[in-house]
A and B are shown apart, each in its own frame.
Chain A
Amino acid sequence: MPVREVLLKGTDDRDLTKLAQYQAIGGYAGVPKARAMTSDDLIAELQAANLRGRGGAGFPMGRKASLIDRSSPKPKYLVVNADESEPGAFKDRQVMALAPHRLIEGCLIAAHAIECRDVYIFIRGEYLTEYEILQAAVDEARAANLFGDVDITVHRGAGAYICGEETALLDALEGKRGQPRPRPPFPPVQGLYDAPTQINNVCTIATVPTIMELGAAEFAKIGVESSPGTAIFSISGNIARPGNYELELGTPMRELIYDLAGGVADGRELKCVIPGGSSVPALSPDEIDVPLDYDSLGKIGTFFGAASLIIVDDRCCIVQLALRSTKFYMHESCGKCTPCREGTRWMVQLLEKIEAGEAELSDLDLLDNVGSRILGRSLCALGDFAVYPVHSYLTKWRSEFVAHVEQGCCPYGGESSLEGIVSPLDAHRHHPGLEILA
């Protein structure tokens, strides 16, 4: 079974939040190794490892580093994205809680590659315990003189999903409302404080020490050729053994769901899998024989995303699932661009109408039509994230939407697992325009 520990290695036997324990298993050996190399050579090594970003888009980390303009007179920055707010994802949190020094070691190595002295780790504000653990580890490593001329600042967010989007994160880090920036310019050219900036997910950076330890060539043999390495897969929802599973990329999804995580809870039937966090197209039960890697998931029309599988059983009304999901994206829309700000609200209104049994068949097409006008027309991918799953529900489970229309009510008759679920939507608005909805 392709269970393989890279990110969580050693966490079962030792308290790796302690510097001495981490050093006892070879921790921080990668830093002098990296510092003995020129930046060019180190970037070449990272490129050879072909480590793809674990934050969602899968862009190769080494190539990103090569885009940093190191000749710029401005400082260069490394920013770690620890905002982890995608529904279904809880992997970065585990790395920070159990192996914070691995992340810190990765920061020091990556900083050397891009000739950076100031590293910022942006951690979501809700992660208080993890912040304390990480801050203590940073302080311990600094006190042990491991930093050299680099420093690491842990920056806490204050509650906004959109701050996981890298340019919104930069604005939040600059002390502003966390709203995405138009691109270009891209962060490697003009990022934090308008200087060249490398931004990577926690798991991406925490994998870097292993590349130094094994060498790029050995590292690239883990997993599949197009996506080397391991990922921590978060699995939740109606699953017998929810939790985090670190696996080689390319592990069959069926194996994770049934062999490792024990299958659907309570002996129920599988209805759908949302494979990358709630923002990606869902898969039906006949689509789960797919290897868990970027390209394989891409080939069947979904995304690797945040490596987070949400398992949904047959008790769930698909319209309610779509509605709850869309309410989240509406709540989290930053309001900066019209297609997303207005479109997510229209989607919620249409889904409420369908769920209430008050819609006509033409409303199903209208819902898809609204989605198609958000997709690709928004300033950042949040707009797309609202649409992708809904489009998949509407396509693959269309008969359930039709049943709502034809029966004039929810066919689950109040028995759906999501029946009556309340959302925070009405309690807080990111922008005043939303008041109209109430």
Chain B
Amino acid sequence: MTGVGSTEPAGSGGADMRGAGAGNGLYEAIQAERAKYPEGSRSATLHALRLAQEEHGWLSPDALREVADALEVTPAYCKAVATFYDMYHLAPVGTHLVEVCTNLSCALAGAQRVVDAFASELGVAPGETTGDGEVTFRTVECLGGCGYATVVAVDHRYRQFVGPDDVPAIVEELRAGS
């Protein structure tokens, strides 16, 4: 098994998401995903892109070529798929990812104050990465935690009931953990 998930205990925030192993490991991991689906299907594409992103940090042209080779499709096909989904990064991102939900329920509960707190604590606007390359900060659509607003995904782990006062500690934790 190769998923992001198996490496990190629930609730831990800081771990680096790159971990699928080097070069050949990615190829093997993708073959294992392909084996779960009928022969000839491209169903492993989303997994393959995720694995490559974990290894490379983002879906660079090289990463897309590796995925294409492993899936026996063209790099253009991989890019066409990758550009459709929000969770793939087609440009470099920080070591850590902070995503604040600003959809209706979180917004009604004051998500904008949380956004502002991260912006001032990190010194970057939503959509940007800190100068040291450590943290990419962005707003996202509903994360499916609306009753526990504001929801913030820190390296894909949900923090719930986040208020502006909680933000400095989260940023501190990320900086300490990296």
Binding site for B on A (CB under 8 A): 84-90, 92-93, 124-129, 131-132, 135, 153, 155-161, 172-179, 193, 234-238, 242-244, 274, 278, 308, 310, 312-313, 316, 321, 324-325, 328, 331-332, 334, 417-424, 426-428, 430
Given A129-B157, A156-B50: A93 and B86 interface contact (C-beta under 8 Å): no
For chain B, residues 106 to 132, give those with C-beta under 8 angstroms from any C-beta of chain A.
Answer: 107-112, 115, 126-127
The 6 listed contacts between A and B (C-beta, < 8 Å) are A90-B146, A131-B3, A238-B109, A278-B104, A324-B102, A328-B103
Q: Which residue of B lies closest to A328 (CB)?
A: B141
| Distance of B111 from chain A, by nearest CB (Å) | 7
Add 14 more A-B contacts to A88-B105, A132-B6 (CB < 8 A): A87-B142, A126-B144, A128-B156, A132-B3, A153-B37, A156-B47, A158-B50, A177-B80, A179-B84, A236-B105, A242-B149, A278-B142, A424-B141, A427-B127
| Chain B residues positioned under 8 Å from A235 (CB to CB) | 147
Measured between alpha carbons, how far is A177 from B45 in the docked complex, in Å?
10
Measured between alpha carbons, how far is A5 from B144 in the docked complex, in Å?
21
Measured between alpha carbons, how far is A274 from B44 in the docked complex, in Å?
37
Is the Cβ of A126 less than 8 Å from the Cβ of B87? yes
| Chain B residues positioned under 8 Å from A278 (CB to CB) | 103-104, 142
Chain B residues with a Cβ closer than 8 Å to the other chain, count: 54
Q: Which residue of B lies closest to A334 (CB)?
A: B84
Measured between alpha carbons, how far is A71 from B123 in the docked complex, in Å?
62
The 10 closest A-B pairs by CB, nearest first: A175-B45, A159-B86, A175-B42, A159-B87, A158-B85, A236-B146, A236-B105, A242-B147, A87-B142, A177-B84
Is the Cβ of B104 less than 8 Å from the Cβ of A87? yes
Q: Which residue of A lies closest to B40 (CB)?
A: A193
Measured between alpha carbons, how far is A310 from B88 in the docked complex, in Å?
29
| Chain A residues positioned under 8 Å from B24 (CB to CB) | none
| Chain A residues positioned under 8 Å from B87 (CB to CB) | 125-126, 158-159
| Distance of B109 from chain A, by nearest CB (Å) | 7
| Chain B residues positioned under 8 Å from A126 (CB to CB) | 87, 143-144, 153, 156
| Chain A residues positioned under 8 Å from B58 (CB to CB) | none
Among A84, A129, A332: residue with most chain B CB under 10 A: A129
For chain B, residues 62 to 116, give those with C-beta under 8 angstroms from any C-beta of chain A.
Answer: 80-81, 83-88, 102-105, 107-112, 115
- CB of B22 within 8 A of chain A? no
Measured between alpha carbons, how far is A358 from B88 in the docked complex, in Å?
38
Is the Cβ of A172 less than 8 Å from the Cβ of B107? no
| Chain B residues positioned under 8 Å from A274 (CB to CB) | 104
Is the Cβ of A85 less than 8 Å from the Cβ of B6? no
| Chain A residues positioned under 8 Å from B80 (CB to CB) | 177
Is the Cβ of A160 less than 8 Å from the Cβ of B86? yes
| Chain B residues positioned under 8 Å from A128 (CB to CB) | 4-5, 156-157
